Amino acid sequence: MDPHRKSVFKARLFIEFARIGKALGSRHRLQLIELLAQAERTVEQLAKDIGSPVANVSQHLQVLRAARLVSVRRDGLYARYSLADPRVFRVWQAMRNLGQTRLAEIDAVVADYLGDRGGMEAVDAPELRRRLRDGDVTVLDVRPQVEYEAGHIRGAQNVPFDELTRRLRDLPRGVEIVAYCRGPYCVFADEAVARLVAEGYRARRLTEGFPDWRSRGFPVETGAAPGG
């Protein structure tokens, strides 16, 4: 290949790769990816979840679709969006982990909004998997029911955070509870653990979210809980 053709080849190739970076270069689109990693959603549901106008969310989804990161299926009058490939979540996960390592500002933001998490005991995914095998822990999924039914840690009990107070009596007191949510920065798990500890339960939070657990290849299941 002559130098000119090689230069053109490389330019065209990296232009295509740059489409991925451009599509990910928006806080709104990263939020959409995190939400779609939980379960498919309509544009209206996504708009409500991130607190943005439907028209704006629709535009962001079109950017993600153009980069082949999001797919859509028709369900009657509704268009339901989902991640086009499990690797899309892993790209976001890699960005998130790199940011945690390289950007001190992220720690500052977390400390500002979530406080000092050092006093809140946590468990990582490999330890929780071992505990599940031993059968000495109750796993609590505090995400909305639609996300739980789309996929959850095998054996987890679903108590959405906004139902936790009235459903405390459903939780065992003699076994430690590990609560998890959408990801490491999802506030529901932290608040659930704080609420449980205040009520006298032994509780810890999972350091990761459900998509992280699934990406490790750890046991998952779908559908409603028995009797749900």
Q: Which residues pair with 139 in a beta bridge?
A: 178
DSSP string, 92-139: HHHHHHHHHHH-HHHHHHHHHHH--GGGS-EE-HHHHHHHHHHT-EEE
Q: Is 181 annotated in the active site?
A: yes
pLDDT at 228: 55
What is the tens place of the pLDDT at every residue in 26-52? Answer: 999 999 999 999 999 999 999 999 999
What is the tens place of the pLDDT at every residue in 80-102? Answer: 999 999 999 999 999 999 999 99
Q: Which of 84, 75, 85, 87 is nearest to 45 (CA)?
A: 75
Q: Which of 159, 137, 163, 131 is nearest to 147 (CA)?
A: 159
Q: Which of 180, 190, 166, 189 is nearest to 212 (CA)?
A: 180
Q: Tokens 């000092």 map to which residue?
A: 116
Mean pLDDT value of segment 133-147: 95
- Give the three-state DSSP class for 209: coil
69, 125, 181, 186: which one is catalytic? 181
What is the rounded distance in angstroms from the CA atom of residue 218 to the CA atom of residue 133?
A: 12
What share of the chain has pLDDT > 70, as a percent? 97
Contact between 23 and 69 (Cβ < 8 Å): yes
**Using DSSP, how many helices (H) and how many strands (E) does the chain show?**
10, 10
What is the tens place of the pLDDT at every residue in 181-192? Answer: 999 998 899 999
Name the band, by pLDDT with cuts 50, 70 and 90, for residue 226: low
Q: Which of 200, 154, 160, 151 is nearest to 177 (CA)?
A: 200
All domains in the chain, ordered by first residue: 3-87 (1.10.10.10), 116-221 (3.40.250.10)
